[in-house]
A and B are shown apart, each in its own frame.
Chain A
Amino acid sequence: MPESTTKPLPEITADNKPYWDALSEGRLMLQRCAQCGKIRHYPRPVCDGCWSMKVEWVQASGLATVHSWTVTHHPFHQGFKTELPFTLVTVDLEEGVRLNAQTRGLDPAQLGIGQPVRIGFERVTDAITLPVIVSPV
Chain B
Amino acid sequence: MSLREKVAVSGIGETNYMRGTDRTALSLTMEAALNAIADAGLSPRDIDGIIPYGLGAVAEDFVTNFGIEDLRFSATTPMGGASAVASIQCAMVAIHAGLCNHVLLALGRTGYSGVRIGARVAQMPQFRIMADYEMPSGAIAPAQIYAAMARRHMELYGTTSRHLAEIAVTTRRHALMNRNATMTKPLTVEDHQTSRLISEPFRLYDCSLESDGAAAVVISRSDIARDLAKRPIYVMAAGEGHPDSPSAITQRPDLARLGIAKCAARVFGQAGVTRADIDVAQIYDCFTYIVLCQLEDLGFCKKGEGGAFVMDGNIGLSGKLPINTHGGLLSQAHIAGMNHIVELVRQLRGEGGAAQIRGAEIGLVTGFGDMGDGALAIMRRG
User: A residues within 8 Å of B by Cβ?
Assistant: 1, 3, 7-11, 16, 41-42, 67-74, 76-77, 80, 83, 85-86, 88, 90, 97-102, 108, 112-113, 124, 128, 130-132
Contact A77 B251 (CB under 8 A): no
A68-B152, A76-B144 given; A124·B131 CB < 8 A: no
Min CB distance A30 to B, Å, is 12
Contact A10 B133 (CB under 8 A): yes
Residue of B nearest to A19 (CB): B133
Residue of B nearest to A42 (CB): B133
Contact A3 B199 (CB under 8 A): no
Mostly, the B contact residues are: helix
Min CB distance B247 to A, Å, is 9
Contact B198 A74 (CB under 8 A): yes
* Complex contacts, A68 vs chain B, CB 8 Å: 148-149, 151-152, 155, 255
Contact A86 B200 (CB under 8 A): no
A68-B155, A73-B197, A100-B250 given; A90·B148 CB < 8 A: yes
* Complex contacts, B140 vs chain A, CB 8 Å: 8, 76-77, 80
Interface string of B243-263 (1 = CB under 8 A from A): 000001011000100000000
Contact B138 A102 (CB under 8 A): yes
The 5 lowest CB-CB distance pairs between A and B, nearest first, are A70-B147, A68-B152, A76-B140, A10-B132, A68-B148
Contact B131 A8 (CB under 8 A): yes
Contact A70 B137 (CB under 8 A): no
* Complex contacts, A16 vs chain B, CB 8 Å: 132
Min CB distance B190 to A, Å, is 19
- Besides A11-B132, A72-B199, 11 other A-B contacts (C-beta < 8 A): A7-B136, A8-B140, A16-B132, A42-B132, A73-B198, A74-B198, A74-B199, A80-B138, A90-B250, A99-B250, A101-B137
Which of A42, A83, A112 is in CB contact (< 8 Å) with B138?
Answer: A83
Contact A3 B136 (CB under 8 A): no
Min CB distance A120 to B, Å, is 12
Contact B131 A70 (CB under 8 A): no
* Complex contacts, A69 vs chain B, CB 8 Å: 148, 151
The CB with the most chain A CB atoms within 10 A, among B115, B132, B202, is that of B132
* Complex contacts, B198 vs chain A, CB 8 Å: 72-74
A74-B198, A76-B141 given; A8·B136 CB < 8 A: yes
Does B358 count as interface, using CB distance less than 8 angstroms?
Answer: no
* Complex contacts, B147 vs chain A, CB 8 Å: 70, 72
Min CB distance B109 to A, Å, is 16
Which of B132, B197, B251 is in CB contact (< 8 Å) with A98?
Answer: B251
Does B122 count as interface, using CB distance less than 8 angstroms?
Answer: yes
Residue of A nearest to B141 (CB): A76
How far does the alpha carbon of A109 sit from the alpha carbon of B349 in the complex, in Å?
50
Min CB distance A101 to B, Å, is 5
* Complex contacts, B255 vs chain A, CB 8 Å: 67-68, 90
The CB with the most chain A CB atoms within 10 A, among B133, B149, B196, is that of B133
How far does the alpha carbon of A132 sit from the alpha carbon of B134 in the complex, in Å?
11
How far does the alpha carbon of A83 sit from the alpha carbon of B119 in the complex, in Å?
19
A8-B122, A70-B148 given; A42·B129 CB < 8 A: yes
Which of A3, A73, A90, A112 is in CB contact (< 8 Å) with B196?
Answer: A73
* Complex contacts, A80 vs chain B, CB 8 Å: 138, 140
Min CB distance A81 to B, Å, is 10
* Complex contacts, B149 vs chain A, CB 8 Å: 68
Does B360 count as interface, using CB distance less than 8 angstroms?
Answer: no
Residue of A nearest to B154 (CB): A68
Min CB distance B127 to A, Å, is 11
How far does the alpha carbon of A64 sit from the alpha carbon of B115 in the complex, in Å?
38
Contact A10 B152 (CB under 8 A): no
Does B186 count as interface, using CB distance less than 8 angstroms?
Answer: no
25 A-B contacts (beta carbon < 8 Å)? A3-B119, A8-B122, A8-B131, A42-B251, A68-B149, A69-B148, A69-B151, A70-B145, A70-B199, A71-B199, A72-B198, A73-B196, A73-B197, A73-B199, A77-B140, A90-B250, A98-B251, A99-B250, A100-B137, A100-B145, A102-B137, A102-B138, A108-B200, A113-B155, A131-B137
